Structure 1
Amino acid sequence: MPFQKKHLSRFIAAALLAGPAWAQQTTQFDTVMVTGSRSQAQISDLSNSVRVIEKEQLEQQIKAGKEFKDALAQLIPALDLGSQSRTNAGQNMRGRAVLVMIDGVSMNSSRGGGRQLDGIDPFNIERIEVLSGTSALYGAGGLGGIINIITKKGEPGRQLELEAGARSGLNSSDDGDLRTGLALSGGNDDINGRLSLAYGKNRGAYNADGDPILMDIAQTSLQYNESLDLMGNLQFRFTPEQSLSLTAQYYDSKSDGEHGMFLGDDFGGVTEKDPEQLAIRGGVDSDRSPRTRRDFLNASYHHQNWLGQELYLQGFYRSESFNYHPFPYVNGTAYDNVYAYAASQQNTEVFGAKLALVAKPLERLSLTYGVDVDRELFDATQMYFDLDQAKQSGGLTMQEDVTVGRYPGYRVDSLAGFMQLNYALTEDLGLNAGFRHQRLSNRVDDYIAMNQQIAIANGSATSADAIPGGEIDYDVNLFNAGLVYDLNASQQLWLNYAEGFELPDIAKYYGLGNYGAADANGHLPLLDSVDVAGSPLQGVETQSWELGWRLSDGIWDAQLAGYYSLSDKTISYDRQTLSVLLKDDKRRIYGLEGDLSVWLHDDWQAGVGGHWVFSETETTAGWRKLAVTEASPSKLTSFLAWQPAQPWSLRLQAQKMFDLRDDDGNKLEGYHTVDLLGRYQLPVGTLSAGIENLFDRDYTTIWGQRAQVWYVPYYGPNELYDFKGRGRTFSLTYNVKF
């Protein structure tokens, strides 16, 4: 039998828990993939589009200056191009949202937020495991795929790692970013650990014309930003069969508090009187600045022979706070006046546990079963700034006037049981199938709408009716089944079916109400509302089919998959209120994903990857193209690498995004960039260098183009959201290990 199917049950258990992985890679099929605990499964065991980004691949991109989200887009064919700002909102995989995990713990939440990838410094990443498409194993969310980030762990023996890097477009003294890293690791076979600190300091960014790129006021920018990632872990091996892994992380990425967007005299740059006034300036004085802060704890226990089964037990805790850039609220008819200036803070707390057991009742049958449980808590506030001071300073002075609730608070409880089997039908054909039942319980707090809270705070009203909260339960049943067939020793075919479930953004759905005028006592009566009892939020169910082929023979590595996914509802947003709209229109997304690489010579390798995707929604008039704010454009990547024996290596790579149009007349303009990456092994340490956007192309990022469709004209002119890509940028990084 060319490929052993016996590892699949271990992978399934791993799909529910987190931990480190290890393997010796000979071909792509031999690569051990872990999307959970310390169990391992070869890629050849899986009936999915899967790939592993090894540490060396990621480091080559990052040390040569690529931002993390851009590096992932270069290495993952079905992942959209990055925003070059803080957000990964809209950076879909296979046209749908991605589930991001760190050591198997989800970084996603019911609110979304678009900062799952703003949560770890690449200095602390060992490898990244990617599964494209819907996976029933993971329950609700992540219909487009899974990105599981495996963190670096300690090893026996002492090691000190130091790293320092810089990048600049050489446009001015303010054009430059710095990053440093320090890690200590050591121990023995029974106990070892790693303690690391990664720090980054960004200044301004400049486009191909040498002009400063405006800050992203919609989802916040990484310009003039400082980040700190402090991470520690310990591994204990109590017996040859028992081990425990502990991880703790503190992550903080925030504005420097000195620079911000100047929105023009009397907000003239926002109200279209003079958008040329828009600029980045110093002198910011703000009571709330853009920031991502996260605390993360994770414990994983593994027993290789507990009552004749493998046992995986994991407990985790995550607390995070997102601060957003102050946002101008523009008069909704003439768009000629800013009537409010405010910034939100959104807080999420998640804790839970996972249990998985792997049994082998028959020689050709393996069974994985277990339980997942977690709780998520959410609240948010909106800080309104003194409008007169803000206008006089062009938005640079932001002193608190009043703080109110931004969204209704809520709690989400989840309890799930699962069972997955793997059966070797023949020596060349394997079957895997499973079922997951998940019960979700959402409890939404009573909430006075934000405008009515403001009216009470400024004295124009004394009280108001609350939009009633309530509790609603969801019972979700998800099935999956797949076949993987060995054509020969180097090729496989697979067929896969999976179901997924998604809840739209709870915070942006509930808490909307219409109020009447204040009565004689100054009380604001509630006329109607979107609430749990009257308008319960419905979930979105998705079915996904996939047919794929892969090849790995030591010279050629290739993977190609066609997919089709169909949802029973369509999620969209009101561009004026930014609230969730849930329609009964079906949504279908289908396409082709693949990559290919070949060794042309002992020292030369070439490759190409791509994703061709179509996104449509069904209306009474038939199937229509999905809006460009939600649909993914097709893309193409390629590379040519020279990798002789030490000390040199060079890589020339390109990214191409294709044009995308919808049936409302909106368009995303495609663009392409080329990068040159290099590395030189010194007698002590390694020097990496890179030139991003080698040919100095001028373009607006995919997020900048989407933001203009999202926010214009309700929240300002096009110029305010025209987030350009970086021009030619040079990078240099030195790394040494002792």
Structure 2
Amino acid sequence: MIKYLLFSILLVSFSCAFAQNIKVQGTITDQQTGVPFATITADHQTKTSSDHKGNYSFFVKQGQSIALKVYAVGYRVLNLSYTLHRDTTINLALEVESNTLDNVIISATRSAENIKNITSSVSVISKKKLETEMAINPDLSTILANQVPGFAPTAQTGNNVGQNLRGRPMLVMVDGVSQSSPLRNAEVDLRSIDPSVLQQVEVLKGATAIYGNGAAGGLVNYVTLVPDTAAKFAGKTQVNLNGSLVNMKNSAGGRFNQMVYGKIGKFDYVASGTYEQTGEYKDSKGDVVGPNYSLGETDSYNAFAKIGYVPARNQRVQFIYNTYSSLQNSNFTLVNGNLATGQKATGVLGKPLGKPTGVKYNHNFHLSYQIDSLFKNTNLNIDAFYQKRQDVFYVSLGRFDGGDGQSLATNDKKGARLFLQSWIVKESQINLSVAYGLDFMKDKTAQPLEDGRIWVPTMDMINLAPFAQANLNLFKDLIFKTGVRYERVNIRVDDYRTLRTTNAAGATLTPSFDVTGGNLKYGTYLFNAALKYNRYAIFSPFVSFSQGFSVMDIGLALRDAKVKSIDKINTDAVKVNNYEAGFETVYEGLSFSASAYTSTSKLGIEVVYDAATDQFNTSRSPERIYGFELAANYSLLPSLEFGASYSYTEGKRDLNGNGKYDDVEDMYLNGRRISAPKYTGIITYRPVKLLELSLNYTGIGSRNRFQKNANGIYNGNEGAVKAYHLFSFAGNYRINKTTRLSLGVENLFNQDYFPARAQWFMQPGFYSKGRGTAVNLGLSISY
């Protein structure tokens, strides 16, 4: 009797359990065709993905209320809620969106996260903003200066000397792969890729322990395109013509970009080729802008390919290759400016000495493999990369052994990274995840002269860094993040001989002698912690602490060696403590953010001018940098939007080492480190659906912190900056679904000015005026 009773109970229990599992199925389309390999989650757990025709199915418990989320690359995320009692068919239609990454960033935590959950200052330049800026000028250093508070003004040249983040050097990356080398900061890394292949740009401000070596001031991550269609083949052709409106003679230039992309079965791809040639750059008077690193008469190439493969619903393999080159082929030789009289530098017709300057080549290879749910609640991302780059600098007349010399910066970088993220707790009121892994990089950098002489010897760095980060979300509104990273760095330098340098009269400034090489070793822990409260949109505050680390610009110290062994050269690393507090406000059509920060380092690095030798040398002393940023956007009408920002940064050196920064001996950091205040503004108006007009403003305030020398001029890097104000215009008109016209006008009112760098740098060869009014007319056709 008992066994029959037990059998009956088991049978009923089995029947009930079976009845609780019901099937959900359907098709995901973009209102025309099926969307392949879309991801479907229920209650934040991955259930399945659609097949190559867009069909899907999964099982849930009967009567269960579920939050359904559907997403695919190139489409808006779809969120739905259901309570299901029987087998159900749910057909879903996704809306195409080219800017799906606008509200999601990767750089701050190394995994995709909504920007509202980021606990530090971050700026995102969306694809739409990039397109608007490119309609005016496609130079990335200019775009960053216009769009990012805290980013120093552009120099309008092929290098980014002095263009930093909040007074400290930054790490520039393409899809997380470093383009910078802390061994010898050549300050050319912002021009590493063409903006036409970017989905967005993510800028994380302030020292960061997330990426370690080189990110003492933050980072800039260029995120490359993803296909925004489910079609097998799509593409876009874009043609631009540009030139000066002040003096059009020989100023005409052009730009051509061809892009194809699509999805074929389990594969997706993007391929792009860009060629740009600029004409002569003219200032507001119609004169040729000084040719030292000018972007005038420059030939640029970019080839990009990204191939993705989805072997299973929770896996993705991706390969990226990008090559970039931008060389100035000028027909002008430099005529130095006069710092005492204010006479600008310009050029006269003639063959420049040496080889064309700029980025000779920058090759990037990147292979990644991602697995969602490798094992219970754990995701894996492993990648490997290789970068090879060479940059060419201008000819220094009479500097080396009484003769001329043209230097090259060479960088050969390879590495691999392991990143895992595990969810420890996943409940409605508490969510705890831990990210952990290991970064490995081998960086070989040198700065020889073009003729083979060694100026900066080869530095061979091995960087190993394990890390762990915890992310705790309480009651959906309180976010706490903390973590630690250990930087282990070994730099090998072989024995070398310094290169004798001379002044214009041939007298020795630095002698030539043998230096014994060796190994420089560093090891340090970096911590970070941050808290943010998101309960109320009208006031969402955050506080953060993060440490940054960078082996100083060792190449400068080695080439300027005064002793005969590298273990006696001051090559101590820079470790930065960054403190920040701020808040965000969203109210109806208004969004506003404010942040204040302080960063300190017991040992900094300042490039200062030495009047005795007429050279720039490095100075090491404690530093404190502080400042604040404000930014606002307001939609007055659906067709009318306003935006504005203000950035202020200041910094000082503690020269007597007593921990104070207000003594008579202490000095302000110079213009190479601290930029003048910056204002930006934008008005966007859409009078009709197919037309968008934008008026942009960038203003640079004044900064004067130093005294003139005995010759009545400022020392190098210490020049006073006088304020100037620039306006630009961008118009975009969509003729039909596939064809768009753009018109951009730079320096709309033909302002006559010296860019900030020309003012503080105080070098006759770089004392050039800014570009006058220039026009850029574009046509793009999508298919």
Common fold: TM-score over 0.5: yes
Please, which of 180, 201, 204 is the counterpart of residue 256 of structure 2?
A: 180
Q: Does residue 759 of structure 2 align to residue 737 of structure 1? A: no
State the structure with bigger RCO (CA 8 A, min sep 6), 1 or 2: 1
Which deviates more, 237-246 or 131-140?
131-140
Counterpart CA distance in 1 for 2:688 and 2:110 is 33
Partner residue, 2:91: none
Counterpart mapping for 1:635-646 below 5 A: 635-646=678-689
Partner residue, 2:668: 625
Counterpart CA distance in 2 for 1:128 and 1:276 is 34
Letter in 1 for 2:373: N
Counterpart mapping for 1:241-280 below 5 A: 241-256=314-329, 259-262=331-334, 279-280=347-348
Residue pair 1:26, 1:554 contacting (<8 A) in 2 also = no
Counterpart CA distance in 2 for 1:562 and 1:132 is 11
SS at match of 1:546: strand
Deviation at 1:559, TM superposition (A): 1.5
Counterpart CA distance in 2 for 1:77 and 1:534 is 40
Q: Does residue 158 of structure 2 align to residue 86 of structure 1? A: yes
Partner residue, 1:40: 112
* Deviation by residue 1:566-620 (Cα, 9 ceiling, x = unmatched): 111231225347565242x321111111210101112110111110121112233
Counterpart CA distance in 2 for 1:274 and 1:89 is 21
Deviation at 1:177, TM superposition (A): 2.3
* Deviation by residue 1:203-224 (Cα, 9 ceiling, x = unmatched): 21111111111112xxx22221
Partner residue, 1:418: 467
Residue pair 2:732, 2:743 contacting (<8 A) in 1 also = yes
Counterpart CA distance in 2 for 1:721 and 1:73 is 19
Partner residue, 1:12: none
Counterpart CA distance in 2 for 1:324 and 1:655 is 29
Residue pair 2:339, 2:767 contacting (<8 A) in 1 also = no
Partner residue, 2:364: 296
Please, which of 234, 240, 256 is the counterpart of residue 307 of structure 2?
A: 234
Residue pair 1:72, 1:79 contacting (<8 A) in 2 also = yes
Residue pair 1:487, 1:493 contacting (<8 A) in 2 also = no
Q: Does residue 687 of structure 2 align to residue 659 of structure 1? A: no
Aligned CA distance change for structure 1 residues 22 and 466 (closer, same or farther; 3 Å): farther
Letter in 1 for 2:464: L
Letter in 1 for 2:242: R
Counterpart CA distance in 2 for 1:340 and 1:724 is 29
SS at match of 1:689: strand
Counterpart CA distance in 2 for 1:315 and 1:330 is 41
Q: Does residue 549 of structure 2 align to residue 481 of structure 1? A: no
Aligned CA distance change for structure 1 residues 578 and 487 (closer, same or farther; 3 Å): farther
* Deviation by residue 1:465-514 (Cα, 9 ceiling, x = unmatched): 62111101100110000111124145411110101112221111114456
* Deviation by residue 1:105-141 (Cα, 9 ceiling, x = unmatched): 1111021111112111111111111211111111122
Counterpart CA distance in 2 for 1:549 and 1:242 is 37
Counterpart CA distance in 2 for 1:273 and 1:62 is 36
Partner residue, 1:714: none
Please, which of 604, 608, 618 is the counterpart of residue 581 of structure 1?
A: 618
Counterpart CA distance in 2 for 1:581 and 1:22 is 51
Aligned CA distance change for structure 1 residues 133 and 495 (closer, same or farther; 3 Å): same
Aligned CA distance change for structure 1 residues 27 and 239 (closer, same or farther; 3 Å): closer
Partner residue, 1:442: 491
Residue pair 1:156, 1:189 contacting (<8 A) in 2 also = no
Please, which of 298, 316, 325 is the counterpart of residue 385 of structure 2?
A: 316
Q: Does residue 209 of structure 2 align to residue 166 of structure 1? A: no
Letter in 2 for 1:361: I
Aligned CA distance change for structure 1 residues 210 and 543 (closer, same or farther; 3 Å): same
Counterpart CA distance in 2 for 1:323 and 1:432 is 42
Aligned CA distance change for structure 1 residues 694 and 365 (closer, same or farther; 3 Å): same
Counterpart mapping for 1:232-631 below 5 A: 232-256=305-329, 259-262=331-334, 279-284=347-352, 286=354, 289-308=357-376, 309-329=378-398, 339-363=402-426, 364-383=431-450, 403-451=452-500, 466-513=514-561, 528-529=563-564, 531-553=565-587, 555-575=589-609, 576=613, 578=615, 580-583=617-620, 585-620=621-656, 621-622=663-664, 623-631=666-674
Aligned CA distance change for structure 1 residues 602 and 22 (closer, same or farther; 3 Å): closer
Please, which of 287, 302, 313 is the counterpart of residue 211 of structure 1?
A: 287
SS at match of 1:44: helix
Aligned CA distance change for structure 1 residues 44 and 28 (closer, same or farther; 3 Å): farther
Aligned CA distance change for structure 1 residues 339 and 277 (closer, same or farther; 3 Å): farther
Aligned CA distance change for structure 1 residues 446 and 452 (closer, same or farther; 3 Å): farther
* Deviation by residue 1:676-695 (Cα, 9 ceiling, x = unmatched): 11111113411110211111
Partner residue, 1:62: 134
Deviation at 1:408, TM superposition (A): 1.3
**Structure 1 regions of 5+ residues with no counterpart?**
1-5, 8-19, 332-337, 384-401, 454-459, 515-527, 712-717
Residue pair 1:36, 1:103 contacting (<8 A) in 2 also = no
Counterpart CA distance in 1 for 2:108 and 2:174 is 9
Which deviates more, 554-563 or 620-629?
620-629
* Deviation by residue 1:182-209 (Cα, 9 ceiling, x = unmatched): 0111223510111110011012111111
Counterpart CA distance in 2 for 1:187 and 1:680 is 29
Letter in 2 for 1:616: K
SS at match of 2:164: coil
Partner residue, 2:731: 678
Please, which of 690, 707, 721 is the counterpart of residue 766 of structure 2?
A: 721
Aligned CA distance change for structure 1 residues 513 and 556 (closer, same or farther; 3 Å): closer
SS at match of 2:132: helix
Partner residue, 2:716: none
Aligned CA distance change for structure 1 residues 701 and 262 (closer, same or farther; 3 Å): closer
Counterpart CA distance in 1 for 2:281 and 2:225 is 30
> Identity rate of aligned residues, in percent?
23
Deviation at 1:21, TM superposition (A): 9.3
SS at match of 1:69: helix
Letter in 2 for 1:247: I
Residue pair 2:109, 2:210 contacting (<8 A) in 1 also = no
Deviation at 1:372, TM superposition (A): 0.2
Residue pair 2:328, 2:358 contacting (<8 A) in 1 also = yes
SS at match of 2:326: strand
Which deviates more, 320-329 or 277-286?
277-286
Coordinate RMSD, CA, aligned? 3.1
> What's the TM-score, normalizing by structure 1?
0.84
SS at match of 2:143: helix
Deviation at 1:706, TM superposition (A): 3.1
